[in-house]
Homo-oligomer: A and B are copies of this chain.
Amino acid sequence: MSVPIRIVLIDTSHPGNIGAVARAMKNMAIEDLVLVRPKDFPSEEATARASGAEDVLQRARVVQTLDEAIADCSLVTGATARTRMHYWKVFDAREAAGRLLQHTATAGTAPAALLFGSERFGLTNEELTRCNWLIRIPANPEYESLNLSQAVQVLCYELYQARGTTITPPEREAPPATAKEMQYLFEHLEEVLAQVQFLDRTQSGDHLMGRLRRLFSRAELDRNEMNILRGFLTAVQQRRRTAGDKA
> Footprint of B on A, CB under 8 Å?
20, 23-24, 26-29, 49, 51-53, 83-90, 92-94, 136-140, 142-147, 149-150, 153-154, 157, 160-161, 164-165, 167-173, 192-193, 195-198, 201, 208, 211-212, 215-216, 218-221, 224-225, 228, 231-232, 235-236, 238-241, 243-244, 247
Contacts and interface: CB of A to CB of B under 8 A. Distances in A.
A154 B242 CA distance: 56
Contacts of A219: 215-216, 218-219
Contact of A196 (B198, B220, B236): B236
Contacts of A145: 27, 52
A91 B86 CA distance: 39
Contact of A235 (B94, B173, B196): B196
Contacts of A167: 90, 92, 136, 138
A16 to B, nearest CB: 8
Contacts of A220: 89, 218
Given A201-B231, A224-B211, A236-B236, A247 B244 contact: yes
Across the A-B interface, the 6 shortest Cβ-Cβ residue pairs: A244-B244, A219-B219, A243-B243, A198-B235, A29-B140, A196-B239
B171 A86 contact: yes
A1 to B, nearest CB: 8
Contacts of A29: 139-140, 142
Contacts of A197: 235, 239
A202 to B, nearest CB: 8
A195 to B, nearest CB: 7
6 contacts: A52-B145, A90-B169, A150-B153, A196-B232, A196-B238, A197-B239
Contacts of A26: 140, 143
Contacts of A224: 211
Contact of A146 (B27, B89, B136, B240): B27
Contacts of A52: 143, 145
Given A170-B83, A170-B84, A172-B86, A143 B92 contact: no
Contacts of A83: 168, 170
Contacts of A212: 228
Given A20-B150, A86-B173, A90-B169, 14 more contacts: A27-B139, A29-B142, A83-B168, A84-B171, A90-B167, A140-B160, A150-B153, A192-B236, A201-B231, A211-B225, A236-B236, A243-B243, A243-B244, A243-B247
